[in-house]
Chain A
Amino acid sequence: VSTSSLAYLAFLVAAVLLFCAGGGPRPRRILFGAVNAAFAAFFVGSWTNAALLAAFVLGGYAAARLAQNRGRGAVPLSLLVSVPVALLLYVKRYAFLSLFLPSAALSHGLEIVGLSYMTFKLIHVVVDAREGALSPLSLPCYANYQLGFFTLAAGPIQRYDDFARWWNEPSPAADEAESLAAWNRILNGILKSALLGTLALKVYTSAFDGVLAGASGRGALGRFLVAFYVYPIFIYLNFSGYCDVVIGSARLFGLTLPENFDSPFLARNMIDFWNRWHISLTFWIRDYVFMTSYKWFAARWNSLRRPAGYVLQFAALLIAGVWHGSTWNFFLFGAFHGLGVAGATMYGDALRRRVGADGVRLYLERPWLRRGAMLLTFHYVCFCFLFFPSDLHKTAAALRAVAAALGRR
């Protein structure tokens, strides 16, 4: 079900009406659970997948419970985290697994919608539980946190504590103004993803196919540039529109989801870009991959912490890239973003060493520099998005066609 479809809107309206009619916290929690179960059942596809989904949710809850035991006989955190990660890699059939596993082992029909998101949420819950920093854990709360129909398919990645606060006192949008603001957000999202996004996709597809079909000379270059600039805009319209719909939907239930976008194409460098693009993923990666690994490293090899910081930033963005999908193109997508972020940090460090903190402040305040940096960042982002479509052969063919066209000039 697309969140821009009439089916989704009808489902949402029915769920909201029932939720508003529900008497108190307990009936509302039961209703919300039933709605989530119905939504998940629609996606699940087969009894095997349903069993796997149930096992993933129940297993995640058991892992979080085990993580809460920090005393004698505590299960290592590395084990509690690596099992769901291994499951994610296997179920999503990551391309690199074919190097180690026979193809028969990977030709399974297993599929869980939103598994990437649920895995990251599970890791967050398990790690926070081990550190004693998690809200009280209960199976109904955890199961609905994982299966909440707004965020099941593609986020945003909410933190358990934020969900648990709502779960304890679930109540719909406070008043008419809040409801109208939520519906406005939903309709804006539909406009962005279904109308503008579809239009952008058509422009991109037409231009890209033109390059592949052998448009020559200036034609090939022009079409390639259209595809180059329009594709990131399509992804933005599609994904931020989806986020508008789910954030607005959640608001109708009185639940506040984290924002995922903040004018990303106005970023002045790649660090800034990731603070504006898919923000809930960035913050998850920052907290549970980058800062955790950097802290671990710095405690052991403090003198190497600066170069380690660059390497770990690269690795964190590489993981963010690979998390997007199981094919090799996402490895390149993540690697280029990692280079961009680590490069921006190295440049900032070099600048500070050269002109000092005050000098950097003055440097950053120059308007022409801000505009130039934004333009450069936007082009680098567009370049990285060349590797977002999963068919690398087509990307390579398009780049060859452009190189040939340039060679003929």
Chain B
Amino acid sequence: MDSTREQLQGIFRDVFEDDGLVLRDELSAKDVPNWDSLAHINMIIAVEAKFKIKFAIAEIAQMKAPGQTAAHFLVLLEKKLAEKPRPA
């Protein structure tokens, strides 16, 4: 199975319509020309559907704040996945 990073990269490529996008740790919204609010929320919706998790509005906003990078997003995503209730 793909790692979380690889799955997230697939979502980024799909949502931001860029097949060459590489999910480097330091990647931020500034580096992706069409990472606007609409694309950001589309990316969040795709991540929530793929990993069956839910982000709070404060978390969604934080991910787009200046200085936030893919590394921060990955840390939050891993935390969410760890908190996810496991099927009985």
Within 8 A of B (CB), among A286-337: 286-288, 290-292, 294-295, 298-299, 305, 309, 313
> Does B33 contact A291, Cβ atoms closer than 8 Å?
no
Interface class of chain B by DSSP: helix
0/1 interface trace, chain B 1-29, chain A, CB 8 Å (1 if under): 00000000000000011101000000000
Segment from A58-66, A127-135, A210-218, A224-232 that makes contact with B: A127-135
**Given the complex, which residues of A lie within 8 Å of B57, measured CB to CB?**
127-128, 131, 133, 287-288, 291-292
Interface of A is mostly: helix
B20 → A minimal CB distance (Å): 8
Question: Which B residue's beta carbon lies closest to that of A269?
Answer: B36
CB-based contact A133/B37 at 8 Å? no
B82 located at the interface, meaning its Cβ lies under 8 Å from any Cβ of chain A in the complex: no
Taking a contact as CB atoms closer than 8 A, the residue among B33, B36, B40, B59 that contacts A133 in the complex is B59
B71 within 8 A of A: no
B45, A128: Cβ atoms under 8 Å? no
Contacts from A to B (Cβ < 8 Å): 127-128, 131-134, 159, 161, 271, 283, 286-288, 290-292, 294-295, 298-299, 305, 309, 313, 345, 348, 352, 356-358, 360-361, 364
Residue pairs across A and B with Cβ atoms less than 8 A apart, 12 shown, are: A131-B56, A133-B57, A133-B59, A287-B57, A287-B58, A295-B44, A299-B45, A305-B42, A309-B38, A345-B38, A348-B36, A361-B33
**Beyond A133-B57, A292-B57, 8 extra complex contacts between A and B, CB < 8 Å:** A287-B60, A288-B57, A295-B41, A299-B45, A309-B38, A345-B36, A357-B18, A357-B34
**Contact surface of B with A, Cβ cutoff 8 Å:** 16-18, 20, 33-34, 36-38, 40-42, 44-45, 56-61
